[in-house]
């Protein structure tokens, strides 16, 4: 993965995970000698992302989730959080989407949530 345009937009955790994987950030870094340089930070971020949904997502899953979220008029930040956190319960999504009950119909949201969960599970590694 190559950076084409710096600061062009927001990155998902999956994109950062892929970048770090491509760069080989999973290697051991010696932090005993005050190693808090870029390599050590990359390694720590990589370890964090290994335990996050980003490790099991695919580009297709991220694209599908983003496309579904767009149909509900969510902000870019809300969409990014849905993709990064991949909520497993509707209540978690309510914490991400501000004024969820007012902005989204309850029936519309539950159908969206079911489709989103199914779609994301289909595209897991």
Q: pLDDT confidence of 12, banded at 50, 70, 90? A: very high
pLDDT of 70 reads 79
| Residues 105/37, Cβ–Cβ less than 8 Å | no
Q: What is the pLDDT of residues 1-11, one digit of tens each?
A: 677 777 678 88
Q: Map out the domains of the chain as residue ranges.
A: 13-55, 59-122
State pLDDT tens for residues 26-57.
Answer: 665 555 555 677 788 888 899 999 999 999 98
pLDDT band at 16 (very low <50, low <70, confident <90, very high): very high
CA distances from 32 to 35, 121, 123 (A): 7, 40, 39
């Amino acid at each position: 993965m190559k950076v084409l345009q710096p600061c062009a937009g927001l990155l998902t955790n999956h994109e950062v995970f892929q970048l770090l994987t491509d760069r080989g950030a999973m290697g051991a870094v010696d932090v005993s000698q005050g190693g808090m340089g870029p390599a050590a930070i990359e390694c720590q971020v990589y370890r964090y992302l290994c335990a996050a949904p980003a490790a099991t997502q695919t580009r297709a899953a991220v694209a599908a989730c983003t496309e579904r979220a767009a149909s509900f008029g969510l902000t870019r930040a809300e969409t990014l959080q849905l993709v990064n956190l991949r909520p497993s319960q509707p209540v978690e999504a309510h914490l991400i989407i501000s004024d969820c009950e007012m902005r989204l119909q309850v029936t519309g949201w539950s159908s969206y949530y079911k489709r989103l969960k199914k779609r994301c599970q289909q595209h897991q590694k």
